[in-house]
Chain A
Amino acid sequence: MAKGSPTKKPKKSEQPEYIRIKFDLPRPYHWSTGRYLGKLYAEAKENKKLMANRCPKCKEIKVHAPTPVCPKCKVDMGWDWVELPQTGTVFQYTYQVYPLWDPHVGGRWANPHPPAIILLDNGVYLRHLLEETDTKKLREGMRVQAVWEEDYEKRGQGFQDILYFRTIEE
Chain B
Amino acid sequence: MAKRVAIVAVAQTKYHPNRADVNEGELAYEAIKQVLEETGLTLSDIDSAVTCCQDAWDGRTIASLNLQHVVGAHFGHEFTVAEDGINAAYVAMSQVLSGHHEIVLVESHMKESQGDKSLIENAAFDAILMRQLGLDFTSAAALQARRYMDKYGITPEQCAKAVVRNHSNAKNNPFAQGPMDIAVDDVLRSRMLVSPIRLLDTKPISDGACAMVMTTEEKAKKLARKPVWIMGVSNCYETHYLGDRELADCGALVKAAKKAYSMAGINDPLSQIDVAEISTEYSYQEPLWMEGLGFCGRGEGGKLVDSRTIEMGGQLPVNPSGGVLPGNPNTVAGMARVAEAVLQLRGEAGARQVKGAKVALAHGYTGICGQLQAVMILANI
A27-B120, A30-B113, A74-B74 given as contacts; is B69 within 8 A of A69 (CB)?
yes
Asked whether any CB of chain A lies closer than 8 Å to the CB of B20, the reply is: yes
A27-B116, A71-B69, A74-B43 given as contacts; is B74 within 8 A of A35 (CB)?
no
- B43 to chain A: closest residue by CB: A74
Asked whether any CB of chain B lies closer than 8 Å to the CB of A106, the reply is: no
| Bound-state Cα–Cα, A35 to B23, Å | 8
Asked whether any CB of chain A lies closer than 8 Å to the CB of B271, the reply is: no
Interface residues of B in 129-150 (CB under 8 A from A): 131-132
Q: Is the CB of A32 within 8 A of B25?
A: no
- A103 to chain B: closest residue by CB: B61
- B73 to chain A: closest residue by CB: A71
Q: Mark B1-39, 1 if CB is under 8 A from A, else 0.
A: 000000000000000000111110110010000000000
Q: How large is the interface on B (under 10, 10 to 19, 20 to 34, 35 or more residues)?
A: 20 to 34
Q: Is the CB of A68 within 8 A of B69?
A: yes
- B113 to chain A: closest residue by CB: A30
Asked whether any CB of chain A lies closer than 8 Å to the CB of B70, the reply is: yes
Q: How many whole Å from B327's CB to the nearest CB in chain A?
A: 18
Interface residues of B in 109-123 (CB under 8 A from A): 111, 113-116, 119-120, 122-123
Q: Is the CB of B116 within 8 A of A31?
A: no
| Bound-state Cα–Cα, A37 to B72, Å | 19
| Bound-state Cα–Cα, A25 to B119, Å | 8
Asked whether any CB of chain B lies closer than 8 Å to the CB of A36, the reply is: yes
Asked whether any CB of chain A lies closer than 8 Å to the CB of B68, the reply is: yes
| Bound-state Cα–Cα, A75 to B70, Å | 9
Q: Is the CB of B26 within 8 A of A36?
A: yes
Interface residues of B in 316-374 (CB under 8 A from A): none
Q: How many whole Å from B11's CB to the nearest CB in chain A?
A: 16
Q: Mark A33-70, 1 if CB is under 8 A from B, else 0.
A: 11111000000000000000000000000000001111
Point out the residue from A33, A35, A74 that lies within 8 Å of B72, measured CB to CB. Answer: A74
Point out the residue from A28, A35, A69, A72 that lies within 8 Å of B116, measured CB to CB. Answer: A28
Asked whether any CB of chain B lies closer than 8 Å to the CB of A98, the reply is: no
Q: Is the CB of B22 within 8 A of A34?
A: yes
Interface residues of B in 44-67 (CB under 8 A from A): 44, 59
Q: Is the CB of B23 within 8 A of A33?
A: yes
Q: Is the CB of B26 within 8 A of A27?
A: no
Asked whether any CB of chain A lies closer than 8 Å to the CB of B272, the reply is: no
Asked whether any CB of chain A lies closer than 8 Å to the CB of B195, the reply is: no
Q: How many whole Å from B266's CB to the nearest CB in chain A?
A: 40
Asked whether any CB of chain B lies closer than 8 Å to the CB of A23, the reply is: yes
Asked whether any CB of chain B lies closer than 8 Å to the CB of A18, the reply is: no
Q: How many whole Å from A84's CB to the nearest CB in chain B?
A: 20
- B72 to chain A: closest residue by CB: A74
Q: Is the CB of A28 within 8 A of B115?
A: yes
Residue of A21, A33, A37, A71 most packed against chain B (CB within 10 A): A71
Contacting residues, chain B, for A33 (C-beta < 8 A): 23
Q: Mark A67-83, 1 if CB is under 8 A from B, else 0.
A: 11111101100000000
A29-B59, A34-B23 given as contacts; is B42 within 8 A of A74 (CB)?
yes
Q: How many whole Å from A21's CB to the nearest CB in chain B?
A: 7
Contacting residues, chain B, for A31 (C-beta < 8 A): 23, 59, 114
Interface residues of A in 1-32 (CB under 8 A from B): 21, 23, 25, 27-32
| Bound-state Cα–Cα, A68 to B21, Å | 13
Contacting residues, chain B, for A36 (C-beta < 8 A): 26
Q: Nearest 9 A-B pairs (CB), nearest first?
A: A34-B23, A74-B43, A29-B59, A34-B26, A71-B74, A69-B69, A74-B72, A67-B69, A71-B69
Known: A21-B132, A32-B114, A71-B73. 4 other contacts (CB 8 A): A27-B116, A32-B21, A34-B25, A70-B69
